[in-house]
Structure 1
Amino acid sequence: MPFLNHTEQMQRILLVMGGLLMLLSCEQQSKPEIAFYHWKARAQYSNSIKQTLEEVKAKRIFLHYFDVDDVANPSRTNDGLYPVYVLREVDSAYKNYDIIPVVFITNEAIKKSDVVALADRIHKLTDQISEHHFSKRLEHIQVDCDWTPSTREKYFELLTELKKYYQLSATIRLHQIKYPKETGVPPVDEGVLMLYNMGKLDDDNNNSILESKTVADYINAESSYPMELQLALPVFSQMVVKNKANEIRLINHVDKAAFTSESAYFEKIGENLYGVKQDTLFHSFYLTPGFKIKLERVKTEEILNAYQMIKKSQLKIKGVIFYHLDDEIVNNVDIRTLAEQL
């Protein structure tokens, strides 16, 4: 093989360097942009939260502003719809982030609403909260609603009305991805695929937060959707409390310390399932024998398996939103490592 002259050598080197730069660029582009939901009435900004946001380079916070619910009997002058769980306090540090207000709407509220009037009330309260906490009106909001066939038409009308005021995104569930013709596609600029709270709370044998086998029932390599999506992933845990009448209450976070083998109150009766042995007050719930508590946490491996299923589909994923931003979560979940593996 003949020796290359200096010019040919430089051309070879430049070609190799160019190829490496392209590979590095593609790798960087494939990493999703990371954002967070914040779903508490007081948006505090602790050192742990600050560190987590910096580690994953998150610049966008989807901040829950309020719910709209059917809370009173209607009258001639009142439809019974009110904002509940309204955002009350926001640390000034959040002014440095791109804030997207989130409004949750129940199906009951949709059914009773005058769509035009409700859109007007939502935008006025949203703008008031934005002005109060951020001293400006925000141009983009997100609406969260698991609409049904009976509420679809009015809900989509509401979204159309809200688009007169904002750039709009809306949450999408797995069944709405699989059956878009039956469920309809909301008239918004962008969707958020909610990859959590997909199972049955009363099923003692399954994790209701996320199981990749459930995702596989809805998503395959051919799955597509006619809009770009963010992907919402769970980093939270919870305890599902079921009484003797099979009524269910949820407790945020898993209290691992309460369920040791020496516990006088709880005994293990299944995988992540405990029975109550004697009366006790537990996280403000009065428990008696016959109650059951299911501990639900999602392993990193399970999140990554579900994420890869989405990546292998035809869905257009713009970024990832972790649910949610909370001291208890960021102190107990290695979110940085999880984000690096996406």
Structure 2
Amino acid sequence: MSRHFFLVCLSFITFSCFTKQEKKVISKAVYHWKSTYQPSQKAKETVKALNIKKTYIRFFDIDFNAKANEAIPKGMVKFKDSPEGDIVPVIYITNRTFKSINETEITNLAVKTAAKIKSITSADSLVFNEVQLDCDWTETTKAKYFHFLEKLKSEFGGNVKLTCTLRLHQVKFKEKTGVPPVDRVALMLYNVGDWTNVQTKNSLFDPDIIDQYIYRLPEYPLPVDIALPIYQQAIVFRNNRFHTYFKNVSKIDLQKHFNTKPGENGKLLICQENCEFQNQSFRIGDVFRHEKVDFKTLNKVKKAILKKIKNKDVQVLLFHLDDKSLDNFTLKQYSTLLEN
């Protein structure tokens, strides 16, 4: 009897330890991905209610300009309001930039990038201790991109933490794409499918696709954070080829601005007349695919990924700080997304 009691107690202790180990310490953050930083009062109130005190702000993009034959920054952020709490400058850099520049140009690009970040923060009296890079690097560009990251970090003299975004394929095929020389990575759980293919079910968020990649998360050698999508979008196809897309457009918006009829599977909308919208022309027969994220599915996937991440402290980021995006879920649902 005493032996049985001992085994029961041991099982309980083992289970309790396992459960305790699985519990994550969650921190909250939000992305701001507009060229002008001026959140609405509503957005500020939502962030305050959710106790989000860290904002990742897109500062500018870097792309290779063939005419100038160099990588140049574009779309610099303008601050019309002062950010509250901690801010993190985020730089989006195209993969073709690293396909187009040589090794000797990387150091120069890193120096210019760091100088641009310092210039913007100095002009607006902003303090930061982290910089994030957003680049969908590949096996052929990893060496140049990683070299760039190392040089960029050295430009801040070790006083700034360097992080970068991570795509699903970079988790599953890390032996090919490599592990970046950064302090942490933010796993992007959006734009997971082929958005240029009219047959794709939902390129914005598809749990079936995500499930094919995340099984290798426990092996990833860097601390992993999670970036969740809270926006909607519409992809437009013409003659079965990608034509254009709209962010933060609901299905109701599409039906309001376009004369459409449901496609054969009921998920696509077919344009019934020539028209114009947002300075673009559309024709009869153009196909619209509206994409959004279901709260229950998003939260379920988040929980599954939290279990696979090995680091105990995990930051959950919402993409992004915009009124139309924030309207997609309730305050209670956001609170749930930002917890274990």
TM-score range, shorter chain: 0.7 to 0.9
> Structure 2 residue aligned with 1:87, among 74, 77, 86?
77
> Structure 2 residue aligned with 1:248, among 243, 254, 261?
243
**Structure 2: any 5+ residue segments left out of the alignment?**
1-15
SS at match of 1:220: helix
SS at match of 1:116: helix
Change in CA separation of 1:267 and 1:31 when aligned onto 2, cut-off 3 Å: farther
Q: In the alignment, which residue of structure 1 is the partner of 2:37?
A: 43
Change in CA separation of 1:243 and 1:119 when aligned onto 2, cut-off 3 Å: same
Paired letter, 1:118: L
C-alpha distance in 1 between matches for 2:49 and 2:74:
33
Change in CA separation of 1:216 and 1:140 when aligned onto 2, cut-off 3 Å: same
> Structure 2 residue aligned with 1:109, among 77, 97, 103?
97
Are the aligned partners of 1:55 and 1:336 in contact in 2 as well (CA < 8 Å)? Answer: no
Are the aligned partners of 2:198 and 2:237 in contact in 1 as well (CA < 8 Å)? Answer: no
1:282 Cα offset (Å): 2.2
SS at match of 2:123: helix
What TM-score results when the alignment is normalised by the length of structure 1?
0.84
C-alpha distance in 2 between matches for 1:40 and 1:108:
22
C-alpha distance in 1 between matches for 2:266 and 2:233:
15
Are the aligned partners of 1:259 and 1:267 in contact in 2 as well (CA < 8 Å)? Answer: no
Residue-by-residue CA offset, 1:175-203 (whole Å, 9 max, x unaligned): 11112211100000111111111101124
What TM-score results when the alignment is normalised by the length of structure 2?
0.85
1:227 Cα offset (Å): 1.0
C-alpha distance in 1 between matches for 2:282 and 2:302:
37
1:205 Cα offset (Å): 4.5
Q: In the alignment, which residue of structure 2 is the partner of 1:124?
A: 115
Q: In the alignment, which residue of structure 1 is the partner of 2:272?
A: 277
SS at match of 2:308: coil
Change in CA separation of 1:121 and 1:205 when aligned onto 2, cut-off 3 Å: closer
RMSD: 2.6
Q: In the alignment, which residue of structure 2 is the partner of 1:56?
A: 50
Are the aligned partners of 2:171 and 2:216 in contact in 1 as well (CA < 8 Å)? Answer: no
Q: In the alignment, which residue of structure 1 is the partner of 2:319?
A: 323
Q: In the alignment, which residue of structure 2 is the partner of 1:207?
A: 202
Q: In the alignment, which residue of structure 2 is the partner of 1:235?
A: 230
> Structure 2 residue aligned with 1:69, among 63, 83, 93?
63
C-alpha distance in 2 between matches for 1:81 and 1:252:
26
* 1:224 is the counterpart of 2:219: yes
Change in CA separation of 1:239 and 1:220 when aligned onto 2, cut-off 3 Å: same
SS at match of 2:59: strand
Instruction: Tell which structure's C-alpha radius of gyration is larger.
Output: 1
C-alpha distance in 1 between matches for 2:59 and 2:266:
37
Q: Percent identical across equivalent pairs? A: 28
Paired letter, 2:269: Y
C-alpha distance in 1 between matches for 2:96 and 2:217:
34
1:80 Cα offset (Å): 2.5
SS at match of 1:32: strand
* 1:193 is the counterpart of 2:184: no
Paired letter, 1:43: Y
Paired letter, 2:326: V
SS at match of 2:324: helix
Residue-by-residue CA offset, 1:261-302 (whole Å, 9 max, x unaligned): x98711111333101111111232211112101000100012
